[in-house]
Amino acid sequence: MSTRVITFHYTLTDNTGKQLDSSAGSNPLAFLEGSGQIIPGLETHLKTMKPGEKRKVLVPAKEAYGEVNAADIMEVSREKMPAKQIKIGDRFRAGNDGHAPVVRVIKVTDTHVTLDANHELAGQDLTFDVEVTAVREATAEELSHGHVHGPGGHHH
């Protein structure tokens, strides 16, 4: 089977119906089949859809951003933090290297800060309202780079 580029619009809501993200009003997203760019539970559906088709897709946490891993939540003393003013929701890189994981502050006390390295959407069942806008064959160059070129993809 050849590999395709699938372009789609999406609106993401959590299980309370709150909108978390949407491509409405901007460019649709394009991805290369099987490249791991799209969460597995969503890609499975998109692969079977035709241009113009709309679908509401419920993706359980384990097929989205995974369950919350307790080992990725850690408490550190405030003195070890790079910033003086720290509040819930702040984000830090857990190291100097630009690829270090980003951690979120989820709790602050007078002496300690609790950091969570789980994906923000870990443990959440997600609903995607998707509309596939285009499906085409991937080019040889895209296949060798492992990502999409042009609208919705890389420009280089």
Footprint of Zn ion (CB under 5 A): 145, 154
- Closest CA relative to residue 4, chosen from 30, 33, 40: 33
Q: How far is the CB of 148 from Zn ion (least distance, A)?
A: 8
Q: How far is the CB of 132 from Zn ion (least distance, A)?
A: 22
Q: How far is the CB of 8 from Zn ion (least distance, A)?
A: 20
- Closest CA relative to residue 118, chosen from 74, 68, 76, 59: 68
Residue 7 pairs in a beta bridge with 30, 134
Q: Closer CB to Zn ion, residue 47 or residue 145?
A: 145
Query: What are the angstrom distances between the C-alpha of 94 and each of 97, 99, 101, 117?
Result: 9, 9, 6, 9
Q: How far is the CB of 90 from Zn ion (least distance, A)?
A: 34
Q: Closer CB to Zn ion, residue 41 or residue 152?
A: 152
Q: Closer CB to Zn ion, residue 56 or residue 154?
A: 154
Instruction: Output phi, psi for 143, to 5 deg.
Output: -65, -40
Tokens of 50: 């035709």
Q: Closer CB to Zn ion, residue 113 or residue 148?
A: 148
Q: Closer CB to Zn ion, residue 70 or residue 140?
A: 140
Q: How far is the CB of 136 from Zn ion (least distance, A)?
A: 16
Query: What are the angstrom distances between the C-alpha of 114 and each of 91, 96, 117, 119, 122?
Result: 11, 19, 10, 15, 17
Q: Which residue is nearest to Zn ion (CB)?
A: 145
